[in-house]
Amino acid sequence: MSLETINTISPTTNTTVVTRTGVSPEQLQQIPETAQAAFRSLVSSTTLQQRQEIVARALTLLEKKKDVLARELTEQMGRPIAYTGAEVATALKRAYYLNRVSASVLGEEGIVKGDEENGFKRFIKRQPVGVVLIIFAWNYPYLILVNSLIPALLAGNAVILKPSPQTPTVVEHVAAAFVEAGLPENVIQYFHCGSLTLIETVVRSPLVNHICFTGSVAGGLAVQKAAADRIVSVGLELGGKDPAYVRSDVDAAWAAEEIVDGAIFNSGQSCCAIERVYVHKDIYDTFIAEVKKVLSKYRVGDPSNPKTQIGPVISKRAKEAVLAQIQDAIRNGATDETPANETFDAMPADGNFVKPTLLTGVNHTMSVMTEETFGPVIPVMKVGSDEEAIKLMNDSEFGLTASVWTKDVPATEQIIDKVEAGTVFINRADYPSPDLAWTGWKNSGRGVTLSKFGFEQFVKLKSYHVKDYPK
């Protein structure tokens, strides 16, 4: 049986930029066995403090390579070079935070004591689950990876990493840094694979004790289905259709700048990008005018150019899907109000470029307001009240994040209490804060990463009930 050849296609040029060789079924069977042996070795040979020191050294090594990592991200997934370095820096900052707070969860501070009773000791400790399989996406690969990798390692688990074929070198750099930092052999393993069937064989392995998946709803459902015939926990970070509501009291120019950035940064390819905007009728016309001003200044083009703000979407298929949503909306009564912009008319012909598109006259009969777009589209709908905005924000199968933009923060805190989403923002968007739980409601996922709660999926509880020997 010949091994799979996996090609990474540049979204900028649609040519192959990286090639990797896949794995055989026999190799995939061996990986969890090796991981279990590495797990037992890790637990017996390291303390939490030692693992914290290894993590810190690995992060320092990655920081020294941040320029190389940034260039590879631009080449492989098309984000402008002006921004890829920021992902690496933010991932490192997030990882340092998780390392810093780990003792409060996994150390002596994290032991939960039972009620006091003479002659008895009762307490609960957290133990590592064993072997963790992490399957992660391409759109923010370093950020997504540290969400699971760092707490999994700190808890004492071995990990198996499966990167997206779009960004294959991420795991290679990360694994090498941890080996150099002193992580015991085979505690981190990875494999390249484009075959869903082969991935499912690892998911089904009884030697895999926990699964983390970040990607599409369809992908998450496939992983969940593959794991359904055995008792194993599955953490899912999936898609979104995140709403923003602009109240009538806000400064329209400021809100337009912020919301455009939250909607089209990374070409809109973020699970928590703003994908639908509701604007109070009293400020609607002014807001649309300000959005046009903002868009007229954006630069779309070659992501290797430091002046470029918007690069391509990830593939030809993704471009077709985004354009199909735009066309569906226009056929059903929406208006394309995208302003004139010379870079929108001169996008590189070979890449998967989509101009940032402003749609007005949209409603919930259109796919652009109900289905995930994952592209640089800003659909804006007029509303008459806070109550109407809340109802529309909640009218979705997704519930990842939501934002409200206002001067009246105290009143708006009551509004966001009613919004069905795992993270709610006031006057901010598209920012997973490391000290807050990152969790999706509805079809946006299951489980938690980040914050102190982000360690819980990588541990199991063990209760200790100790009675003094009778005298």
Token output for 269: 């390819």
Of 237, 258, 275, 456, the active-site residue reads 237
Q: Where are the domains of the chain?
A: 5-238+444-466, 242-426
In this predicted structure, the answer to whether residue 144 has a pLDDT above a threshold of 90 is: yes
pLDDT digits (tens, 9 = 90+) for 195-240: 888 899 999 999 999 999 999 999 999 999 999 999 999 999 999 9
- Residues 78-94 have a mean pLDDT of 98
Hey, what amino acid is at 412? T
Confidence of residue 300 (pLDDT cuts 50, 70, 90): very high
pLDDT digits (tens, 9 = 90+) for 228-274: 999 999 999 999 999 999 999 999 999 999 999 999 999 999 999 99
Give the Cα separation of 126 and 140 in Å (integer).
30
Block residue for tokens 């020191």: 53
Nearest to 352 by CA among 305, 301, 309: 301
Domains 5-238+444-466 and 242-426 fall in the same CATH topology: no
Count Cβ atoms below 10 Å from residue 342 Cβ, excluding itself: 9
pLDDT digits (tens, 9 = 90+) for 387-424: 999 999 999 999 999 999 999 999 999 999 999 999 99
CATH of 242-426, one of 3.40.309.10, 3.30.420.40, 3.30.1490.20, 3.40.50.300: 3.40.309.10
| % of the chain at pLDDT higher than 90 | 98
Confidence of residue 136 (pLDDT cuts 50, 70, 90): very high
| % of the chain at pLDDT higher than 70 | 100
Task: Tell me what pLDDT residue 117 has.
Answer: 96
pLDDT digits (tens, 9 = 90+) for 370-386: 999 999 999 999 999 99
54: buried, middle or exposed (CB in 10 Å: 19+, 13-18, 0-12)?
A: buried
Task: Tell me what pLDDT residue 432 has.
Answer: 96
Task: Tell me what pLDDT residue 2 has.
Answer: 84
Confidence of residue 132 (pLDDT cuts 50, 70, 90): very high
Task: Tell me what pLDDT residue 1 has.
Answer: 61
The domain defined by 5-238+444-466 folds into Aldehyde Dehydrogenase; Chain A, domain 1 (3.40.605)
- Contact present, 57 and 182 (Cβ < 8 Å): yes
- 53 tagged catalytic: no
In this predicted structure, the answer to whether residue 52 has a pLDDT above a threshold of 70 is: yes
Give the Cα separation of 307 and 80 in Å (integer).
8
Task: Tell me what pLDDT residue 471 has.
Answer: 84
- Contact present, 142 and 163 (Cβ < 8 Å): no
Beta-carbon contacts of residue 64 (< 8 Å; ≥ 6 apart): none
* Residue 37 half-sphere exposure toward CB, CA atoms < 13 A: 7
Computed over every residue of the chain, the mean pLDDT equals: 97
